[in-house]
Amino acid sequence: MKKITFALVLAGSILLSSCDILTQIASQFSSVANLANCEFALKNVSNVSVAGVNVKNLTNGNLSATDIVKLVAAYQSKQVPLNLNVNVDVKNPTTTQAAMTALDWILAIDGTDMANGVSSRNYTIKPSTTTTVPLPVSTDLGQLFSQKGLDALKNFASSFAGDGISSKVGLRVRPSLSVGTTQVPFPNYIKLEQKTGKS
């Protein structure tokens, strides 16, 4: 009798465990599927530097002698490193959480694709909330500015009003979801518009 009781308890435990696993799978699938309902927007661009010079120094004319030397040397060598953080807001307007397992991105400067990469961090976007995804970007503007001249470099720097959005910077993103062990990207890249209003 004890053996029968133990067997029934064990069978019940296995059944409950299986139900828990199925519930978890269903929850994960729902979170992944809900990503299609999320809205992506370009929040801002921060920590911008050109050839190691803070872009704020370029825009306000507060350049040191060292800054000038760096800029002239970079332009003459046709190697003008650009470093910045692009912050993307992912808004979940639904009542169900959403999940994102990767975010491919392409950065354009003045309409020319200059850099690309992928953020492979997992994100859970809770219902009716907005999650910010930071994308650190490093690229070389030397070829672009050598074609368009030094004025292009000045115009690029002046397009930043401190930390914010520059009309010179464009971003396209493509979210991905994990289905089992397979990474499934969205079919197309999303061209991001500047974020307006409140989340």
**Tokens for 177?**
């979801």
Q: Identify the CA nearest to 88 among candidates 27, 148, 39, 40.
A: 40
Residues 30-58: tens digit of each pLDDT: 566 688 889 999 998 888 888 888 887 77
Residues 69-109: tens digit of each pLDDT: 888 888 788 888 989 999 999 999 999 998 888 999 999 88
What band does 190 get if pLDDT is binned at 50, 70 and 90? very high
0.95 exceeded by pTM = no
Write down the pLDDT at residue 165.
73
- Give the residue ranges of DSSP H helices in the chain: 2-33, 55-59, 65-77, 142-148, 150-158
Between 23 and 32, the higher pLDDT residue: 32
Domains along the chain with CATH numbers: 2-191 (2.60.40)
Write down the pLDDT at residue 25.
41
